[in-house]
Amino acid sequence: MAPTSRDENQKRLDIHNSSIPVICRSCEARHRGICGALTSEQLTQVSRHTTRQQVAANSEFVSTGDDVKHYSNVLAGVVKLTRLMADGRQQIVGLQFAPDFIGRPFRDTSEVSAEAATNVKLCSFPKSVMDEMIAKSPDLERRLYKQALDQLDDAREWILALGRKSAAEKVASFLLMIAENVDPEKLDRDAPICFELPLKRADIADFLGLTIETVSRQITSLRKAGIIVVEHNRTVTVPDLERLRAHGEMDTG
């Protein structure tokens, strides 16, 4: 979900410390994710049990009701957390980007399923090892707590959108969320914002509580109004962010 202010004192000096495990040294999430709260000893300990994995787009790697034995960090790509109803209706209840942590401490079975929306790189480690470490490291727990609070804020933001926004506003808000998540590096000042949609229409629909057709129509209408430019169905350019914002964020606060 939309990362809020997540990273504070994450910069720690491992430049001088060669005891950082090899697998972690070049990790994209090394400082930004929860690992930033670990000492090099802890990092070494976790890394002994760590596995990197690639998950192909659209494959589910945790199912509702599963016994979960591992936590993961998202290193790249986008993960959908979904809930399914008996008759097949589906709803995305959370989106996780790098360097988010996936897992539910203090509970062994998953209430949601996790599925790769794009190709995803994960760093996984056994729940047992991590749980022990969480119990011993208040810093680590605090970081997890902060992430949970951010996710709660995000969830509430989407509760407002799902409950009260029109289809047009939902789609605009979604595009805005993605736009605001674009790598600051890729942001060319004064150039229009441009990005690849990480979700296909069906996923956007599942996220917004709409149908594919409605999503498509709303995107078309934003396109015809000149608020966005779409190429190859997935590449979106926003000439004027404020104009997009005006369509989705009639929000107070």
Partner DNA sequence: CGCTCAATTGAACAATGTCAAGTTGTGTGG
Partner DNA sequence: CCACACAACTTGACATTGTTCAATTGAGCG
Please give the Cα distance from 64 to 104 (Å, whole number).
Answer: 13
Q: Does 2 bind DNA (CB under 7 A)?
A: no
Q: Does 30 bind DNA (CB under 7 A)?
A: no
Select from 40, 91, 181, 237 the one that contacts a second copy (CB under 8 A).
91
Nearest CA to 104 among 130, 78, 123?
130
Residue 37: DSSP 8-state = G
Which of a second copy, DNA, none has residue 230 at its interface (CB below 5 to 8 Å by kind)? Answer: DNA
Give the nearest distance from C-beta 247 to a second copy in angstroms: 13
Give me the phi and psi of 93, to 5 degrees please. Answer: -105, -5
Query: And the tokens for 31?
Result: 């400082």
Please give the Cα distance from 169 to 143 (Å, whole number).
Answer: 33
Please give the Cα distance from 152 to 154 (Å, whole number).
Answer: 5
Dihedral class, residue 222 (left if φ above 0, else alpha if ψ from -120 to 50, else beta) = alpha
Query: And the tokens for 178?
Result: 């993605």
Q: Interaction with a second copy in 39-68: which residues (CB under 8 A)?
A: 64-65
C-beta of 56 vs 250, nearer to a second copy: 250
Q: Which stretch binds a second copy (CB under 8 A): 10-18, 45-53, 121-129, 144-152?
A: 144-152
Residue 1: DSSP 8-state = -
Q: Does 85 bind DNA (CB under 7 A)?
A: no
Question: What is the per-residue binding string for DNA in 171-210, x denoting contact by CB under 7 A?
Answer: -----------------------------xxx------xx
Mapped onto helix, strand or coil, the DSSP state of residue 16 is coil
- Give burial (CB, 10 Å; 0-12/13-18/19+) of 96: buried
Select from 61, 101, 125, 158 the one that contacts a second copy (CB under 8 A).
158
Q: Does 84 bind DNA (CB under 7 A)?
A: no
C-beta of 208 vs 227, nearer to a second copy: 208
Q: What does the binding site for a second copy look like in residue numbers (CB under 8 A)?
A: 64-65, 81, 83-87, 89-91, 93-94, 104-107, 111-112, 138, 141-142, 144-146, 148-149, 151-153, 155-160, 162-164, 206, 208-209, 250-253
